[in-house]
Amino acid sequence: MTATAGKVLHFINGEYTAGTGARTFENRSPVDGSLISVVHEASKADVDAAVTAARAALKGPWGRMTQEERSAILHKVADGITKRFDEFLAAECADTGKPRSLASHIDIPRGAANFKIFADLVKNVATECFEMATPDGKGAINYSKRGPRGVIAVISPWNLPLLLMTWKVGPALACGNTVVVKPSEETPTTTALLGAVMNEAGVPPGVFNVVHGFGPNSAGEFLTTNPGVDGITFTGETRTGEAIMKAGAVGVRPVSFELGGKNPAVVFADCDMDKAIEGTMRSVFANCGQVCLGTERVYVQRPIFDEFVARLKAGAEGLKLGRPEDKDTNLGPLISQEHRSKVLSYYKKAVEDGATVVTGGGVPDMGGDLANGSWVQPTIWTGLSEDSAVIREEIFGPCCHIRPFDTEEEAIELANDTPYGLAAAVWTENLARAHRVAGQMEAGIVWVNSWFLRDLRTPFGGSKQSGIGREGGVHGLEFYTELKNVCIKL
Ligand code: NAD
Ligand code: 6OD
């Protein structure tokens, strides 16, 4: 068995396996604490076997296929996810506790789209060509040629498990690489399910491999330190990125990092208030605040500050917490009790630092077996000083702090006063201001009058401590391919 209500196995060289490791761990529901499955933890030997299979597959049929053939197979992978939509949806909601309405609109369709979009994109990448003069007058032609980087380690987080894993596996495979994926220990199931889809689509054995486990002294570390890995792409916390970068330094392996954020929203008095409230509600509370691009700092121009706070409070208090399958559920639980302890420590710190708790700030009374889940109240604060840890550090929960500002310059300074630089949102109906402010935001993506809207062909990544490199569209080719110059003497 690969998934729910049973055992979660590794997927190595085209086959599900318990591996050689005797260790297993429990995958428990964040909704009510019930047991979802038992997951096999990869030993070093299991990870070595996965990397060996991936290396061998580079030289096998996958390596000999034309781009068109590989792309056609990746379309079948996307279709395979769509065919098993309900299975993926159930597994993702069980592991994360997120509302079905959210996962069915974002996580699962994007999981499929990530294969199609990159399969199509790589077929249309042009190369450059230069003619040069030579002393004999006959000249030479230089052209560049892209090839796969090799074996790519994909290390993914738990907040959007299928979406963020396929966002890396899609381009990696489209470029002709092979992969070993280490999904988050919190959400192993949809990555495990993908193995069967790969086999059905005709992906040759060894091209897509999955090993389960934790980070340090477990599958994550075994994978990033394996010398058979040619590049590491990682989404997760900035501190984890530092550890992985050290591992990648041995053997001078390149890394591509999508890391943490402490994203600002700047709301000007000239905004469309209804849209700004609706957008900020989503950017603060969607996925229970567990979105790297989510807003945790809101700066609102003084004339509309009181109204904005009152309306966001009303919105937060209207959110319905509940089970994923309940149609009226807006918010699920946090991913785990451990993460809840972290979020609650910031709820406590906010009060210690003198915040006014506008709403929330604690644990809701869910009752029944939901009492065993990792629920927290949607929370809004005002009144904190900018040096509070609540303002400086990523919380990754359904919460935000709102502070007033007076001038555009002040808003930009406040928004940029952070070690992170992942995303920012600007709410204004003034076109010139929108361009002016967007240009000055220190972030990899700036939304104007929107949030979490992005064409997959565009670059994605963070500045400052929010990442290294850009993925998305042709920008991912920098990491997923090796670029070679061929010089032909005429
Ligand atoms: P995390 O860093 O704790 O874990 C991510 C993955 O890394 C997991 O699979 C984990 O097992 C693995 N890991 C941990 N330590 C490791 C090590 N030493 N070596 C190798 N692997 C290791 O992150 P998380 O808690 O799963 O996810 C939440 C974090 O991810 C937040 O900080 C969030 O902002 C960030 N995130 C960023 C983006 C982005 O695009 N920038 C997207 C989603 C999440
Ligand atoms: O849209 C994407 O491709 C992307 N990487 C989103 C990241 C969301 C973070 O939680």
Residues 430, 472 within the same domain = no
User: 19: CA distance to ligand 2 center in Å?
Assistant: 31
Give the mutation target among 163, 238, 283 for probing the ligand 2 site: most ligand atoms within 8 A of CB. 163
Within-domain flag for 2: no
Taking the CA of 291 as reference, the closest ligand is: 2
> pLDDT above 90 covers what percent of the chain?
98
Name the residue with tokens 């995958």.
27
Within-domain flag for 460: no
Dihedral pair phi/psi, residue 176, rounded to 5°: 95, 5
Provide the pairing of β-strand 263-267 with 295-301.
parallel
C-alpha–C-alpha distance, residues 271 and 278, integer Å: 12
Indicate whether residue 167 lines ligand 2 (CB < 6 A). Answer: yes
C-alpha–C-alpha distance, residues 156 and 263, integer Å: 21
Indicate whether residue 158 lines ligand 2 (CB < 6 A). Answer: no
Indicate whether residue 159 lines ligand 2 (CB < 6 A). Answer: yes
Per residue in 350-377, pLDDT (tens digit) is: 999 999 999 999 999 999 999 999 999 9
User: 165: CA distance to ligand 1 center in Å?
Assistant: 11
Taking the CA of 256 as reference, the closest ligand is: 1
Does the pLDDT at position 226 exceed 80? yes
Q: What is the pLDDT of residue 174?
A: 98
Q: pLDDT tier at 4 (50, 70, 90 boundaries)?
A: very low
C-alpha–C-alpha distance, residues 147 and 268, integer Å: 47
Tokens for 224, please give them. Answer: 């990033």
Q: pLDDT tier at 420 (50, 70, 90 boundaries)?
A: very high
Catalytic site positions: 258, 292
Does the pLDDT at position 381 exceed 80? yes
Indicate whether residue 423 lines ligand 2 (CB < 6 A). Answer: no
Indicate whether residue 460 lines ligand 2 (CB < 6 A). Answer: yes
Residues 138, 162 within the same domain = yes
Q: What is the pLDDT of residue 317?
A: 98
Per residue in 117-129, pLDDT (tens digit) is: 999 999 999 999 9
Atom nearest to 287 CA in ligand 2: 10
Burial of 431 by CB count in 10 Å (0-12 exposed, 13-18 middle, 19+ buried)? exposed
Within-domain flag for 275: yes
Within-domain flag for 414: yes
User: 164: CA distance to ligand 2 center in Å?
Assistant: 6
Nearest protein CA to atom 3 of ligand 2, as residue:
167
Q: What is the CATH number of the domain that holds 368?
A: 3.40.309.10
Q: For Cα atoms 197, 63, 472, give the angle at the middle one, nearest 5 degrees.
A: 65
Taking the CA of 229 as reference, the closest ligand is: 1
Nearest protein CA to atom 5 of ligand 2, as residue:
164
Within-domain flag for 1: no
Within-domain flag for 434: yes
Dihedral pair phi/psi, residue 431, rounded to 5°: -60, -45
Number of domains in the chain: 2
Within-domain flag for 117: yes
> pLDDT above 70 covers what percent of the chain?
99
Q: What is the mean pLDDT of the chain?
A: 97
User: 332: CA distance to ligand 1 center in Å?
Assistant: 20
- Order across the sheet with 255-258: list the strands: 15-17, 10-12, 208-210, 178-182, 151-155, 231-235, 255-258, 467-468
Residues 181, 280 within the same domain = no
Atom nearest to 157 CA in ligand 1: 26
Q: What is the pLDDT of residue 202?
A: 98
Q: Taking CB atoms and a 6 Å cutoff, what residues make up the pocket around ligand 1? A: 155-159, 164, 182, 184-185, 214-216, 220-221, 224, 235-237, 240, 243-244, 258-261, 292, 394, 396, 422, 462, 466-467
**CA of residue 189 relative to chain centroid, distance:** 16
Q: Coil, strand, or helix at residue 326? A: coil
Residues 117, 238 within the same domain = yes
Nearest protein CA to atom 9 of ligand 2, as residue:
292
Atom nearest to 114 CA in ligand 2: 3
User: 392: CA distance to ligand 2 center in Å?
Assistant: 21
Nearest protein CA to atom 39 of ligand 1, as residue:
258
Residues 405, 480 within the same domain = no
Q: What is the pLDDT of residue 184?
A: 98
Does the pLDDT at position 3 exceed 50? no
What range does the domain containing 172 cover?
A: 7-259+466-489
Within-domain flag for 243: yes
Residues 84, 206 within the same domain = yes
Nearest protein CA to atom 9 of ligand 1, as residue:
184
Helix H segments across 207-358? 219-224, 238-249, 273-285, 302-317, 337-352
Q: pLDDT tier at 21 (50, 70, 90 boundaries)?
A: confident
Does the pLDDT at position 178 exceed 50? yes
Q: What is the pLDDT of residue 1?
A: 43
Q: Cβ neighbours of residue 419 under 8 Å, at least 6 residues apart? A: 262, 392, 464, 465
Residues 313, 246 within the same domain = no
User: 245: CA distance to ligand 1 center in Å?
Assistant: 13
Nearest protein CA to atom 12 of ligand 1, as residue:
215
In this prediction, residues 296-314 reach a mean pLDDT of 98
Residues 282, 221 within the same domain = no
User: 260: CA distance to ligand 1 center in Å?
Assistant: 8
User: 293: CA distance to ligand 1 center in Å?
Assistant: 14
Residues 388, 418 within the same domain = yes
Residues 421, 481 within the same domain = no
| Other CB atoms within 10 Å distance of the CB of residue 416 | 15
User: 375: CA distance to ligand 2 center in Å?
Assistant: 23
Residues 51, 188 within the same domain = yes
| Other CB atoms within 10 Å distance of the CB of residue 44 | 17
Per residue in 75-96, pLDDT (tens digit) is: 999 999 999 999 999 999 999 9
In this prediction, residues 431-436 reach a mean pLDDT of 98
Give the mutation target among 184, 237, 293 for probing the ligand 2 site: most ligand atoms within 8 A of CB. 293
Q: pLDDT tier at 162 (50, 70, 90 boundaries)?
A: very high
Q: What is the CATH number of the domain that holds 125?
A: 3.40.605.10
The residue type found at 398 is P
Indicate whether residue 293 lines ligand 2 (CB < 6 A). Answer: yes
Residues 320, 216 within the same domain = no
